[in-house]
Amino acid sequence: MKRTRIKNIFSEGNIGQTITICGWVRSKRESKGVAFIALNDGSTQDTLQLVVPSDSSAFNKLSGCNTGAAIRAAGLLKESLGKGQKYEVEVSDLEIFGEADSEAYPLQKKGHTLEFLREIGHLRPRTNTFGAVFRVRNVLSNAVHEFFQSRGFIWVHTPIITASDCEGAGDLFTVTSLDLEKLPAGNNGDIDFSQDFFGKRAYLTVSGQLEAEFLAMSLGDVYTFGPTFRAENSNTSRHLSEFWMIEPEMAFADINDVMQLAEDFIHSLCGMALEKCEDEIAFFEKFYKNTSINDLRSLAEKPFVRMTYTEAIKVLEKTKEKFEFPVKWGLDLQSEHERYLTDKVFKGPVIVVDYPKGIKAFYMRQNTDGKTVAAMDVLVPKVGEIIGGSQREERLELLEGRMNDMGLPLENIQWYLDLRRYGSAPHAGFGLGFERMVQYITGMSNIRDVIPCPRAPQSIKF
């Protein structure tokens, strides 16, 4: 079926041409002499105005053209006679693919709350808001690849099913082909996973980092971009059980290199969103007011504030601001502390580096002070932690020592330790939650509104 995308009509605008467009009706206004249809096909933010004169054969098909109906229209592209739009199509031929009963169709030409739209996840992409979100999401996905590819990073596909359970990144979903009605009993009354599909217990990945490390220690600079699963019972506007994560890993790099990479990366994504999604960003600015073209422009250019954890604690100790949780060296920064730094003190992204080793993962490189590790978090206003990264511990003895101190078993992870035995080198990387990035750029306040099918505890509809 030949059709012109509405996006292309607006960009090319060949006035006087006969064109065919397909899409879904947003609204219809009828009168005696003429009827107007606002049509959207998902390719762009704006609707195209269709004009149906009463003497056109299309006019008597209008009763089936209610909000939500899928139609094809053909006619002449003209400069609009009315205000509010540049182009319109004078329809000479109209075909209705599928009507949408106006009594039953949940989306009507009125505002709906995001909470309500979450209940109709299969229809919400037809709204202005979700059309915009998913177009921005697409542009950002592509921007991720463009950024890394242009810097010579190699995209690696780390496994979704994994056997490593000691990453400490979160609770895992078990993957099994065992009959859940008849689970084989092991020695101590627990389940005998040696009879399971892989011969041992398997999980959905919580991070591709450990695998990305061995690929970096052979290919140089790599990145992952794929789905990640966490079984934590997290009920917040910033957590999903299934989300997409981006994890670059650089060989021959230290913590400063990875901080710079993180900053360049965010700058680049903001710039790309501005360049390719101006209409969408303008829409978010107008209707939700949590993002703006000007904010993004400065985010795309302004250097991030950088400070050590120790400096951050000093800032937090000095303020008169009252916090619910204590501020003390050695304790992790709470959301309220992070928000104070990003929203009130610096009014922009902040990179905090060199955290106490007691609150960070085993694989992070120990600093010479004996107290801290080369870990960094990028904190952004409203969303909070968007990136967590570190220089990895490349010294075998120190890594083993740390694992022993933390009571982590070494036997299943000898392959990871091998990287420190054979040709070990400094390397560093970070993890970025893609949905949080989409949230940050669109200003959507709930993470469930930036992914088509959000998975969360007790929630797997659609």
User: Footprint of RNA on residues 260-279 (CB under 7 A)?
Assistant: none
Q: Are 223 and 247 in contact (CB under 8 A)?
A: yes
- How far apart are CB 378 and RNA at their closest, in Å? 8
Read off the tokens for 383: 């969303």
* 196 or 360: CB nearest RNA: 360
Q: Does 51 bind RNA (CB under 7 A)?
A: yes
Q: Does 453 bind RNA (CB under 7 A)?
A: no
Residues 31-50 contacting RNA, CB under 7 A? 31-34, 36, 38, 49
Q: Does 60 bind RNA (CB under 7 A)?
A: no
Read off the tokens for 369: 């002070």
Tell me the site size for RNA, rule CB under 7 A.
73
Residues 102-131 contacting RNA, CB under 7 A? 102-103, 106, 108-113, 115-116, 118
> What is the per-residue binding string for RNA in 144-183, x denoting contact by CB under 7 A?
------------------------xxx-------------
- How far apart are CB 354 and RNA at their closest, in Å? 16
What is the rounded distance in angstroms from the CA atom of residue 410 to the CA atom of residue 413?
Answer: 6
How are strands ordered across the β-sheet holding 161-162? 161-162, 202-204, 174-175
Nearest CA among 250, 252, 213, 206 for reference residue 228: 206
Residues 6+ apart with CB under 8 A from 103: none
How far CA 83 is from CA of 80, 87, 88, 314, 418, in Å, comes to: 7, 10, 11, 57, 69
Helices 255-276, 128-150: axis angle to 10 degrees equals: 130
Residue type, 30: E
Residues 385-444 contacting RNA, CB under 7 A? 385-388, 431-433, 435-436
Q: Does 71 bind RNA (CB under 7 A)?
A: no
Read off the tokens for 260: 């710079």
* 245 or 251: CB nearest RNA: 245
Among the listed residues 22, 23, 56, 90, the single contact to RNA using CB under 7 A: 90
**155 strand-pairing partners:** 223
Q: Does 201 bind RNA (CB under 7 A)?
A: no
What is the rounded distance in angstroms from the CA atom of residue 344 to the CA atom of residue 337?
Answer: 10
- How far apart are CB 185 and RNA at their closest, in Å? 27
Q: Does 365 bind RNA (CB under 7 A)?
A: no
Q: Does 30 bind RNA (CB under 7 A)?
A: yes
Calculate the dihedral angle through the C-alpha atoms of 64, 70, 76, 77, rounding to the nearest 10 degrees.
130
Q: Does 370 bind RNA (CB under 7 A)?
A: no
